[in-house]
Amino acid sequence: MTTDIHHSDTGDPQEHPPQPRVDGDGIPRWIHDQLSEKKSLRIWQKHKITIFAVMALLTAGVVRLAGFDVVAISLSGMICLGIGFQCGIFLLRKSFSRSHPITAIARTMIEEAVNTKLSVILVLLVVVILPTLPLLLDADERLSYRVQFFLSWSLSGTMLLLAMLVISLCCHSIADDIESHQIHMAFSKPLRKWEYLLGKWLGVASISFLLVALAGIGIYTFTTVLARSNAVDSQDRLDVQEQVLTARAVAKPVHPSGDAFDQSIETTIAEIRERDPALFDKNPTGARKKIISQRIHEWHTVTSDVYSSYLFQNLNEAKTRTPIIQLRLEPWADNSGISEAKVRFAMWLNERPFPVQNGIHETYTFRQGVIQTLDLPTSVIDEDGQLKITIANKNLVMAGEDVPTSISFTPGDGLEVLYRVGSFEMNFIRSLLVILWKLVMISAVALAAATWLGFPTALLTSLMVYFTATANSFFADAIDIYTGLDSKGATLTSMFRMRSRLFLERVNKFEWWEATKTIGSYLADSFLSLIPSFGNYDSITQLATGRLVPLQEVGLGFLILGIFYPSILLFAGWVLLERRDLVSTSS
């Protein structure tokens, strides 16, 4: 017998579970809430950059209204650089969207750069440091010095940070591929190892191009804004335009006597060789160099009873393109222990006294060791494009001396003529291109190192190569001083013979430590000879001092740093990767 059981609405909740609340469209409320949260999260992920930008712009506007103009400009610069980076990454992704092995690897490299924490930190440093650097400048300093400081330090800092970025990115990318076994998956596809390396290098080169372009836009913008700020005086304002934000060619002086001066040097060398043949037999290159240097220094020294003349040639372009040229000189008072001693001299331009005021030939008085720039009219240049500058010492006799103090100019850059030949904008672009070539070469170094070394060792090796290339000439001079040898101006053959002879002499005298230093100089010089000197492409200093970055330098940098060295390094990396046992390494 069965009994029907009737349940009331107030019965067991297990038998009558509560019905879920629904919206008007029939979707349960809890599902609707989750969908709304996911939708909000997608909107946030998609538009977070825009949201941050709007918030930062509003903050910059408030700061601007509060009267902090420089801070507002810095905040706006950070925003623009950040947005520019995001837009640039988007364009790079589109550029490498084709289904080709090399472009696929390059696109993967770009994604790694965006997702790697270290890369993001270094990019953020570039984005943050550039806009804040103007805040560190002393507003009471001369405007021309502030602009030069900003250009030099911002470009140098950008170069250093981007070099760290490409080195860490390249070393980490290949090391991570090997350790995580992803490289086996890559080579299981129709991908050859040289395509793998070339794709990595192409991706890093593209990122370097993007970051250099963004940094260049930021630096140029802040330089323009800084150049419009308050100057100390009208001359300071003029110096910014005529000595910094310009592109000037440089003319070096030659001796007015021409070949006769060179012949006199050869005569002096022959006389000294005859009096002291042992000096030349031991080190003929060094002895000859020392004599030439001494004679040139004598020519650049103006004593109390001598007129010194300096001839500048090939100034036809300056005569037709600009109304003035600039004489840059750095005078020194010889035989004076006073740090701030002054020098006094008179000057003639092509045998005519200059300057002349009210019929009186005036003299110049400057503090020693301070660079001076004098504006000279191009009308003083003769029809052959030559300008002869004659300087007479007008120093007074100091206490305790019998004759006036001599005046000297450092040969090379202590006395030169500069004239405008181009615009700052084109000079700035050339400087950025040289920086890009350096980054391209360093990325190839890091990739080649990572093909046969682990991440820490490859990183250290790449950093060593980078700093050696940056200070190549300094290291070369230090080696020569340490070993007692001077290789400047000498050929490789002459240095080899001289050091071999010196090594045998030290061994015969049982000077083992000195002999070891000689062997060390062989190894060190050999290492330095393999690495190009970035000092030969010092576009940052040229730009900051208003000097023209030669197109030849840009082209040579492209061929050597952008093509030759990367080709050699990537080929070496391919050979090493072909011979490396990736299975044993990964396991």
Task: Name the average pLDDT for the chain.
Answer: 77
151 Cβ contact list (under 8 Å, min separation 6): 219, 223, 244, 540, 543, 544
The structural domains of the chain, with segments of one domain joined by +, span: 96-246+423-587, 259-420
| DSSP three-state, residue 4 | coil
Give the position of tokens 């509060």. Answer: 66
In angstroms, the CA 419 to CA 533 distance is 28
Q: Are 325 and 243 in contact (CB under 8 A)?
A: no
State how beta strands 352-354 and 301-302 pair: unpaired
pLDDT score of 470? 86
Give pLDDT tens digits for 522-540: 666 667 777 888 888 889 9
pLDDT score of 6? 46
Query: What would the two tokens of residue 74 be?
Result: 């810095």
pLDDT score of 587? 47
Return the sign of the alpha-carbon dihedral for residues 106, 573, 560, 475: positive
Mean pLDDT throughout 539-568?
A: 92
Give pLDDT tens digits for 127-151: 666 666 666 667 778 888 889 988 9
Confidence of residue 441 (pLDDT cuts 50, 70, 90): very high
Q: What angle do CA 290, 294, 300 make, to 5 degrees?
A: 145
259-420: CATH number: 2.60.120
Residue 515 has pLDDT above 60, yes or no: yes
pLDDT score of 5? 44
In angstroms, the CA 320 to CA 359 distance is 28
Give pLDDT tens digits for 366-425: 888 888 889 899 888 888 889 999 999 888 776 556 677 888 898 888 899 999 988 999
In angstroms, the CA 164 to CA 171 distance is 11
Q: Are 335 and 405 in contact (CB under 8 A)?
A: yes
Give pLDDT tens digits for 115-127: 776 666 666 666 6
In the DSSP assignment, the letter for residue 236 is H
Please tell me which residue, 553 or 341, carries the higher pLDDT value: 553
Q: What are the angstrom distances between the C-alpha of 426 and each of 50, 153, 547?
A: 33, 20, 12
Q: Are 553 and 539 in contact (CB under 8 A)?
A: yes
Rounded to two decimals, the pTM is 0.77
- State the maximum Cα–Cα separation within the chain, in Å, rounded to a whole number: 144
Query: What would the two tokens of residue 450 be?
Result: 């990572």
Q: Are 72 and 64 in contact (CB under 8 A)?
A: yes
pLDDT score of 44? 46
In angstroms, the CA 471 to CA 550 distance is 21
| DSSP three-state, residue 535 | helix
User: What torsion, rounded to 10 degrees, do the Cα atoms 492, 497, 500, 506 define?
Assistant: -120
Please tell me which residue, 240 or 283, carries the higher pLDDT value: 240
| DSSP three-state, residue 315 | coil
pLDDT score of 543? 93
Residue 234 has pLDDT above 60, yes or no: yes
Residue 559 has pLDDT above 60, yes or no: yes
Confidence of residue 57 (pLDDT cuts 50, 70, 90): low
Q: Which residues pair with 416 in a beta bridge?
A: 328
pLDDT score of 439? 94
| Residue closest to 195 by CA, chosen among 203, 140, 494, 320 | 203
Give pLDDT tens digits for 180-232: 777 777 777 777 888 888 989 999 999 999 889 888 888 888 888 888 888 88
